[in-house]
Amino acid sequence: MRRGLAIRTRLAIVSATLAVGVLAAGLLTVYLIDRRQVDQSLATSARRAAGDLADSTLHRAPPPDSSGGTDDAAKESRPESRDELVTAYLQARSGGGQLLASVVPGARPRANTLLARRLWLQRDLPPGAAKRIEIEGEDYVVAAATRNGSRFLAAVPAGDADAGVRTLLDAMLVVCLVGLVPATGAAWLVTRRALAPLSRIAQRASRVTGGDLSVRMGPVRSHDEIADVADAIDAMLDRLEGAFAAQRRFVHDASHELRTPLTIARGHLETALAGGRDPAGLEAAAQVAISELDRMARLVESLLRLARTGADDPPLRDVVDVGELAVRVVARSRVLGERTWRVDADPDAAIAGDAGAIEQVLLNLLSNAVRHTSPGQAIGVRVKARGDTVVLEVSDSGEGIDPELLPTLFDRFTRADAARGRDTGGAGLGLAICRAIVEAHGGTIAAASTRGRGATFTVELPRAAVSASEPAMRPVSPPTHV
Confidence at residue 340, expressed as pLDDT on a 0 to 100 scale: 92
Looking at domain 315-462, its CATH class is: alpha beta
To the nearest 10°, report the CA torsion of 261, 251, 418, 288: 0
Torsions phi, psi for 384 (to 5 deg): -130, 145
Domain covering 7-63+71-163, topology: Beta-Lactamase (3.30.450)
* CA dihedral over 17, 23, 25, 31, signed as positive or negative: negative
pLDDT at 422: 44
> Contact, 168 vs 190, CB < 8 A?
no
Contact 413, 246 (CB under 8 A): no
**Taking Cα atoms as reference points, which of 132, 180, 158 lies closest to residue 27?**
180
Domain with CATH 1.10.287.130 in the chain: 225-307
- Helix 159-209 vs helix 225-274: crossing angle, to nearest 10: 20
User: Per-residue confidence of the chain (482 residues) as pLDDT tens digits?
Assistant: 455 667 777 777 787 778 778 888 888 888 889 889 999 999 999 899 888 888 877 654 444 444 444 444 444 444 456 677 777 888 777 777 888 888 877 778 888 888 888 888 888 888 888 999 988 888 999 999 988 888 889 999 998 888 888 898 888 888 878 877 787 788 778 877 777 777 788 888 888 887 777 888 777 776 777 788 888 888 888 888 877 877 777 676 667 667 767 887 788 778 777 766 677 777 888 888 887 787 778 777 766 766 665 555 555 678 999 999 999 889 888 888 889 999 999 888 899 988 888 888 898 899 889 988 999 999 999 999 999 999 999 999 988 888 888 887 887 666 555 434 444 445 567 788 888 889 888 899 999 988 888 999 999 999 987 544 444 333 333 333 33
- CATH architecture of the domain 225-307 equals Orthogonal Bundle (1.10)
pLDDT at position 258 is 72
Q: φ, ψ for residue 181 (rounded to 5)? A: -65, -55
Residues of the chain with CATH 3.30.565.10: 315-462
The CA–CA distances, whole Å, from 86 to 93, 108, 116, 146, 153 equal: 11, 11, 14, 13, 12
Q: Are 171 and 18 in contact (CB under 8 A)?
A: no
Q: What is the pLDDT of residue 389?
A: 93
Residue 306: predicted pLDDT = 63
- pLDDT, residue 190, reads 81
Closest Cα to residue 118, out of 97, 133, 131, 132?
A: 133
**One-letter-per-residue 3-state SS of 256-303:** HHHHHHHHHHHHHHHHHHHCCCCHHHHHHHHHHHHHHHHHHHHHHHHH
Intervals of CATH 3.30.450 along the chain: 7-63+71-163
Cβ distance 126 to 98 under 8 Å? no
> Is the pTM of the predicted complex or chain greater than 0.75?
no
387: number of CA atoms within 13 Å, CB side?
Answer: 2
**Angle in degrees, CA 133, 136, 137, rounded to 5:** 75
